[in-house]
Amino acid sequence: MKNLVFLFLCLVLGAVDGREAKACSTLMVGRSGTADGSVLMSHSCDGDVMGLVYVMPAQSYPPGTRLPMYWNVPRPTTYAEYQANLRKGFDHVGTLEVSETYRSLILAGNLESMTTGGLNEHGLCITIEFLPMREGLACKRARVGPNSNHWTTSLIANGLLRTRTAREAIRLIGAMVEEYGFLYYRAPGAGVALPIADDREVWLMEIFGPGEDWTPESGRPGGVWCAQRIPDGEVGCSANRSRIGTVNLEDAEHFLASSNVFSLAEELGLWIAGTPFVWHDVYGGPGNRSNSLREWRALSLAAPSLDLKFTDNPAVDRYPFSVKPDRPVTVPKLMEVMRDSYAGTEFDVTARAGFRVDAGRSPLACPWGPAELFELVGVEPERAICTPTSGYVLVAQLREALPDPIGNLLWFAYGPADTSCFIPIYAGVRDMPDTWDHPANFTRIDRQQAQWNFRLVQNLAQRVGYQAAIRDVRRMIEPAEQRSLSLQAELERTAVGLFREKGAGVAEVFLTDYTVAAAASVGSAYSELVDYLMLKYLMGDPEFAPPELPRIFAPAIPEGAK
């Protein structure tokens, strides 16, 4: 039976539809726009085969320590190239003065486990968005990027490991860009957006290159950057095109920027002094349907009363930087948004004529899936906020009123949001289970790894008959997430009591024990769910089907803490 199951796995697992954009989506909510006064940020990292979450411990260094800075370019595109890079070793590209680093939950992905986001012990959260960039801005001599394969040259990792607040992170990242030069490690011709949040503020920082003639010896900044704060009480989004418009440097509460914001644009002929200066037009690419449609959907879900319009002209479909939500935003609401595939709108591809049968939708109707299926039925897929290219999805919940280890957490899910279950991972967590925090095995299907089972469930659901399979998957996910959310208040009361009576260390061990148990329960259920879906939908014989859907058991609050 195991060999037969493995054969079915090989047949059902295919590459994600090549027409799907390998990109990301982020929503950011100021704290007076949320139901509980938290800063909220949701994000899907969509460009990686499979993601990774692990804890990087804090570290102290003697005064004056200068660490070597490393990276390895060009980045590998195959496993063989990755192995060759490992044999070659890193390139030494500079030195970095560091006195200490903070413990951080590091999010990463792809072959080389490059850093793509995270949450540190002080509640600072950073994520990433690829941005189109005007030609002539990229520079091959630059030496730092948002997500390089060594933390010393990764802007995201440096922000998490070396700063406590969003403003500190923006200033540090900006200083590194100016000193060492910006080069997007994964896509050298691209710019980047870094959504950055703490428990008081959330910002969108955008970075572009310095121009192809820049050198470290030039004395000029090695990039151009601007950060705009999402106003308290409002919701902003980013979907892989520049979102910052008019820049008001006199408003220091909402704008931070490099000194060359205007001068570089004039120097490179991107802007004429005296004419209107619109950041996204000067430095960013125009974007396309997949960008503006996701922006429209995200902001419309937050504020349907605005009745925003989509015209399919990216130049026309420029939406407000942020909007006031019709209702206070919650964690479950953001989970729902991250699972969105335009259901109930004219962009819902499962309602198109090609997926229609006499009784309604075809059992095969799905919002994404194999290119061959869409070509067969004559339906063009839409790039939705939810996508099968996600390596992980998160909702960051950041609250100033609670101690840092307890008030700040990621609701985290491996794989695409529609088939994945969110679990809470607190800033105080010191470790993750081995089955969760090791890089995905790219040489074989590894059923012991959480990433593989989440990915298998997604691939199976979209290939065995999505309409029925997704109902089964959601019947397993929804009760588990509801239980986790309902237990949150009691869990945190207990943790706060431990924090006050016995100190931060005891509270962190408590939260670690709970998270490890939650991850183990979800991981075990997803392993069973892979078998359930294969036996129910692939074997073709009802006697193989398990009698009951797997269940995710909510971990009990550790007894020793009570």
| CATH code at position 470 | 3.60.60.10
Q: What angle do CA 349, 352, 356 make, to 5 degrees?
A: 120
Residue 560 has a pLDDT of 53
Cβ within 8 Å of residue 90, ≥6 positions away: 70, 71, 72, 150
Task: Encode burial over 34-62: b for 16+ CB neighbours within 10 A, e otherwise.
Answer: beeebbbbbbbbbbbbbbbbbbbeeeeee
Interatomic CA distance for residues 417 and 13, integer angstroms: 18
Residue 22 has a pLDDT of 58
Q: What does each C-alpha distance from 481 to 52, 336, 393, 478 come to in angstroms?
A: 21, 12, 14, 5
Cβ within 8 Å of residue 164, ≥6 positions away: 102, 120, 122, 124, 198
Interatomic CA distance for residues 27 and 44, integer angstroms: 10
User: First CA to last CA across the chain, in angstroms?
Assistant: 45
Interatomic CA distance for residues 303 and 317, integer angstroms: 16
Interatomic CA distance for residues 38 and 50, integer angstroms: 29
Give, for 518, the enclosing helix (H) or strand (E).
Answer: helix 504-537
Contact between residue 470 and residue 461 where contact means Cβ atoms under 8 Å apart: yes
List pLDDT tens digits, range 310-337. Answer: 999 999 999 999 999 999 999 999 999 9
Average pLDDT over residues 44-60: 91
Confidence of residue 48 (pLDDT cuts 50, 70, 90): low
Relative orientation angle of helices 2-12 and 504-537, to the nearest 10 degrees: 90
Residue 538 has a pLDDT of 87
Taking the model in full, what pTM does it have? Answer: 0.94
Three-state SS at 122: coil
Cβ within 8 Å of residue 119, ≥6 positions away: 104, 105, 125, 160, 396, 408, 409, 410, 425, 427
Average pLDDT over residues 394-423: 97
Residue 5 has a pLDDT of 40
Judge whether 358 lies within some domain: no
Residue 42: phi, psi to the nearest 5? -115, 150
Q: What is the secondary structure of 15-26 as a DSSP string?
A: ---TTS----EE
Question: Is 90 exceeded by the pLDDT of residue 60?
Answer: yes
Judge whether 360 lies within some domain: no
Worst-scoring range by mean pLDDT, 41-50, 227-236, 327-336?
41-50
Count how many Cα atoms sit within 13 Å of the Cα of residue 404 in the half-sphere of its side chain: 15
How many structural domains does the chain have?
A: 1
Q: What does each C-alpha distance from 164 to 167, 196, 298, 453, 509 come to in angstroms?
A: 9, 11, 29, 35, 22
Question: Is 90 exceeded by the pLDDT of residue 561?
Answer: no
Judge whether 292 lies within some domain: yes
Contact between residue 534 and residue 461 where contact means Cβ atoms under 8 Å apart: no
Question: Is 60 exceeded by the pLDDT of residue 254?
Answer: yes
Task: Encode burial over 388-397: b for 16+ CB neighbours within 10 A, e otherwise.
Answer: bbbbbbbbbb
Residue 540 has a pLDDT of 74
Judge whether 248 lies within some domain: yes
Interatomic CA distance for residues 501 and 311, integer angstroms: 58
- Percentage, residues of the chain above pLDDT 70: 95
Average pLDDT over residues 11-33: 67
Judge whether 182 lies within some domain: yes
Average pLDDT over residues 468-495: 96
Respond yes or no on whether the N-terminal peptide bond of residue 74 is cis (omega within 30° of 0). yes
Q: Which domain holds residue 240?
A: 1-347+382-562
Question: CB atoms < 10 A from the CB of 69, how many?
Answer: 23
Contact between residue 94 and residue 69 where contact means Cβ atoms under 8 Å apart: yes
Residue 43: phi, psi to the nearest 5? -155, 140
Q: Which two tokens stand for residue 275?
A: 């004419």
Judge whether 3 lies within some domain: yes
Mean pLDDT for the chain overall? 93
Q: Which two tokens stand for residue 549?
A: 């859907």
Confidence of residue 541 (pLDDT cuts 50, 70, 90): confident
Confidence of residue 20 (pLDDT cuts 50, 70, 90): very low
Q: What does each C-alpha distance from 327 to 29, 200, 231, 301, 366 come to in angstroms?
A: 12, 20, 16, 10, 30
Judge whether 546 lies within some domain: yes
Judge whether 377 lies within some domain: no
Question: CB atoms < 10 A from the CB of 88, how many?
Answer: 9
Residue 186 has a pLDDT of 81
Give, for 342, the enclosing helix (H) or strand (E).
Answer: none
Residue 3 has a pLDDT of 41
Residue 15 has a pLDDT of 38
